Amino acid sequence: MEKKKILVVEDDSVLRDVLIAKLSKMGYIVSGAEDGEVAMDAMRKDKPDLILLDILMPKKDGMQVMEEINKDENLKGIPIIVVSNSGQPVEVERARSLGARDFLIKAVFEPNEVLEKVDAILGKRSVAQNQSDADVFPQKETTQGAHVGNATQGNVTTAADSKGLKILVVEDDKFLRELLVRKLYSEGFTVESAIDATAAFEILGRFIPSIILLDLILPGIDGFEILARVKKNNTLVTIPVIILSNLGQKEDIERAMSLGATDFMVKANFTLDEIVNKVRKVVGGK
Position 132 pLDDT exceeds 60: no
Does 128 or 41 have the greater pLDDT score? 41
- Domain residue ranges of the chain, discontinuous segments joined by +: 5-133, 138-283
Check residue 150 and give its pLDDT: 37
Position 109 pLDDT exceeds 70: no
Predicted structure pTM score:
0.56
Q: Name which of 244, 24, 12 is nearest 114 in CA terms.
A: 24
Cβ atoms of 208 and 235 closer than 8 Å:
yes
Q: What's the rounded Cα separation, in Å, for the pair 93 and 96?
A: 5
CATH code at 5-133 = 3.40.50.2300
Q: What's the rounded Cα separation, in Å, for the pair 16 and 283?
A: 27
Does 197 or 151 have the greater pLDDT score? 197
Would residue 63 be called left, alpha or beta, if left means φ above 0 and alpha means ψ between -120 and 50 degrees?
alpha
CATH H-level, domain 138-283: superfamily: Response regulator (3.40.50.2300)
Q: What's the rounded Cα separation, in Å, for the pair 94 and 162?
A: 47
In the sheet where 5-9 sits, what is the strand order? 29-33, 5-9, 50-53, 80-84, 100-105
The mean of the pLDDT values for the chain is 83
Provide mean pLDDT across the span 17-26: 89
Provide mean pLDDT across the span 7-12: 94
pLDDT tens, 57-66? 888 999 999 9
Check residue 247 and give its pLDDT: 86
User: What per-residue string of b and e applies to 42-75 under the rule 16 or more CB within 10 Å gives b?
Assistant: bbeeeebbbbbbbbebeebbbbbbbebbeeeeeb
The pLDDT > 70 percentage for the chain reads: 81
Check residue 57 and give its pLDDT: 87
Confidence of residue 124 (pLDDT cuts 50, 70, 90): low
Check residue 56 and give its pLDDT: 87
Check residue 152 and give its pLDDT: 37
Cβ atoms of 5 and 28 closer than 8 Å:
yes
Confidence of residue 187 (pLDDT cuts 50, 70, 90): confident
Position 155 pLDDT exceeds 70: no
Check residue 88 and give its pLDDT: 67
Check residue 100 and give its pLDDT: 93
Lowest mean per-residue pLDDT among 39-43, 117-121, 140-144, 172-176:
140-144
Q: Would 5-133 and 138-283 be classified into the same CATH topology?
A: yes
Does 182 or 121 have the greater pLDDT score? 121
Confidence of residue 269 (pLDDT cuts 50, 70, 90): confident
Cβ atoms of 218 and 170 closer than 8 Å:
yes
Position 145 pLDDT exceeds 60: no
pLDDT tens, 207-243? 999 999 999 999 999 999 999 999 999 999 999 999 9
Dihedral angle of Cα 189, 133, 277, 6, to the nearest 10 degrees: -160
